[in-house]
Amino acid sequence: MKTERLYAITVYLLNHGRTSASELAKHFEVSLRTIQRDIDSLCLAGIPVIAVAGAAGGYEISDRFELDKEYATADDYSRILIALQGLASVTSDPKVKYTAEKIARVSKPEDQGIVLDFSVLREGESAVLQQLQNAVALKHMVEFFYTNNNYETRIHRVEPIAVLYRWYAWYLLAYSKVKKDYRTYKLVRMRALKITDQPFEKGHESASEILEKMDRTDSRSYTRILIKCAEPAKVRIIEYLKGTIVQEFPDGGALIQAMVVENEQFWLGTLLSLVDKAEIIEPEEIRCRVLDAAEKIVSLYTNYDI
């Protein structure tokens, strides 16, 4: 176990550069003292770990050090193959399939006991996904009509950085010249997508670095809601709204707490679909919002003339 951790620390430092002892302890879920002992062990083994003092200090590995290119084990290749097969199931990129075939020659995926099948994520968006991947590779701007959360539709011209799957949907990460900032655009809300002949006008950091900065400055407004629900609705609230049970009732029902994004519609639709099996206890403004939506639905069907 210690040998694996020492190797993992070496790889982590090579990939992330200077890292504090507390960050390493948190990442590897060990004590600071254990990290210090591990660093001593690495130094004794000939790994050139440098300790830098000060507020911006930490541990780093000398730039002159290179890890053996044959460091991956059969199990490592097996995990890589599983991930590649998952990626191949969601994209039509032949390069991914070719890479998976090469890795398959040196791995045994059945040993891991896991299969990643994301083929359902291709439904309805595979063509747009492929177009955006091509635009990212070409480093050309794209143009499309986009409908936002307020149902406003406008033309957008952006520099595409990467396509990503998060929050149960596909998004485009791109740089907006109008906003002079990075934005994410939901693929399902795009139409009339076109790759332009105009190349990028500026350089960009990697997608992971951009997303990390965006996550740290997330400006979305979250609201805590408390839901009283009957037993049939309990699993759906936990699954779809990531709710946490606060109190369970003798009849199988529960009091559940969840955090929702105010200007998103998914959670509202989920609650309305539960009909009389779930009631928002607080806050009052969310109760009123659900009541208003329900009244509009009743009015629509009451006034419906067959």
Supply the DSSP symbol for 52. E
Q: What is the pLDDT of residue 249?
A: 93
Contact 257, 243 (CB under 8 A): yes
Q: What is the pLDDT of residue 133?
A: 86
Q: What is the pLDDT of residue 66?
A: 67
71-205-59 Cα angle (round to 5): 50
Residues 131-161 have pLDDT tens digits of 898 899 899 999 999 998 778 899 999 999 9
Instruction: Tell me the sheet residues that pair with 244.
Output: 257
Residue type, 112: Q
pTM value is 0.58
Q: What is the pLDDT of residue 261?
A: 82
Low-confidence residues of the chain, pLDDT below 50? Answer: none
Q: What percent of the chain has pLDDT over 70?
A: 86
Contact 85, 130 (CB under 8 A): no
Give 297's contacts (C-beta < 8 A, 6+ positions apart): 272
- DSSP symbols for 108-136: -GGGG------GGGGTTTHHHHHHHHHHH
Residues 84-116 have pLDDT tens digits of 777 777 776 777 776 777 677 666 555 567 777
**Residue 170 burial by Cβ neighbours in a 10 Å radius (0-12, 13-18, 19+):** buried
Contact 229, 254 (CB under 8 A): yes
**Residue 13 burial by Cβ neighbours in a 10 Å radius (0-12, 13-18, 19+):** buried
140-142-146 Cα angle (round to 5): 165
- Give how far Cα 185 sits from Cα of 144, 246, 279, Å: 10, 34, 32
Strand order through the sheet with 190-199:
181-186, 169-176, 153-166, 140-147, 190-199
Q: Report phi then psi at 159, rounded to 5.
A: -100, 110
